[in-house]
Chain A
Amino acid sequence: DGGITQSPKYLFRKEGQNVTLSCEQNLNHDAMYWYRQDPGQGLRLIYYSQIVNDFQKGDIAEGYSVSREKKESFPLTVTSAQKNPTAFYLCATGPWGETQYFGPGTRLLVL
């Protein structure tokens, strides 16, 4: 079954806790992206990776960290430094410089 998977669908974070959101793709795309979406807002870029072992900060990287050890995987960690983490998180993939395709998203809620 091809595509982009994100897990979990819902995630709860306690104060001071780091949580990691998973994004996996089997489309053989080089580039992967993480976006944050707040209610009634567009998508804001957190981090992106053009290729394995390389990643760059997007517009709102503070309080987040990523890794890209495998082409298929681009996990996002929401650290305790992110003071307002409640949002819908979207992962996207695509050939670099071309169309991006989105996963189903993870909703993060703070307890």
Chain B
Amino acid sequence: GQQLNQSPQSMFIQEGEDVSMNCTSSSIFNTWLWYKQDPGEGPVLLIALYKAGELTSNGRLTAQFGITRKDSFLNISASIPSDVGIYFCAGQGYGGSQGNLIFGKGTKLSVKP
């Protein structure tokens, strides 16, 4: 079945630093979504991407839909403490259950001690 690899699994950030994370798929997706989850809460949609090559921003967040349709990147510029949390990528593919999302295992952002 389809699989998503999300990396890194975790990272420490210092206020003001830029952060990058990515997801790669074993097959082609037609939609990429990026979510952020705070502890004990449901994931919140950050950015949705619908076309290969698309680059979309939401404030300090920028995400790109890879031209191969098998990857996506999320960048956070000038990180602040409230950026801490778990970021999930999700892809939506083709086929019989086309409405279903495949999720990465998440990238956990923590503040550098």
The CB with the most chain B CB atoms within 10 A, among A42, A50, A88, A104, is that of: A42
Q: Is B43 an interface residue (CB 8 A)?
A: yes
Q: Is A18 an interface residue (CB 8 A)?
A: no
| Contact present for A103 and B42 (CB under 8 Å) | yes
Residues in A neighbouring B73, C-beta threshold 8 A: none
Interface size on A, residues (CB 8 A): 26
Segment at the interface with A among B11-19, B54-62, B74-82, B99-107: B99-107
Looking at the complex, which one of A4, A41, A100, A104 makes contact with B41 (CB distance below 8 Å)?
A104
Bound CA–CA A104/B37 (angstroms): 10
Bound CA–CA A92/B87 (angstroms): 17
| Contact present for B100 and A104 (CB under 8 Å) | no
User: Closest CB-CB distance, B8 to chain A, in whole Å?
Assistant: 14
Q: Is A84 an interface residue (CB 8 A)?
A: no
- Indicate with 1 or 0, residue by residue over B68-97, a CB within 8 angstroms of chain A CB atoms: 000000000000000000001010100001
Residues in A neighbouring B98, C-beta threshold 8 A: 97
Q: Is A12 an interface residue (CB 8 A)?
A: no
Interface residues of A in 66-108 (CB under 8 A from B): 88, 90, 96-105, 107
Interface residues of A in 35-79 (CB under 8 A from B): 40-43, 45, 48, 50, 56, 58
Residues in A neighbouring B97, C-beta threshold 8 A: 48, 56
User: Closest CB-CB distance, B58 to chain A, in whole Å?
Assistant: 13
The CB with the most chain B CB atoms within 10 A, among A6, A41, A88, A97, is that of: A97
Seen from chain B, the residues whose Cβ lies within 8 Å of a Cβ on chain A are: 31, 33, 35, 40-45, 48, 88, 90, 92, 97-101, 103-106
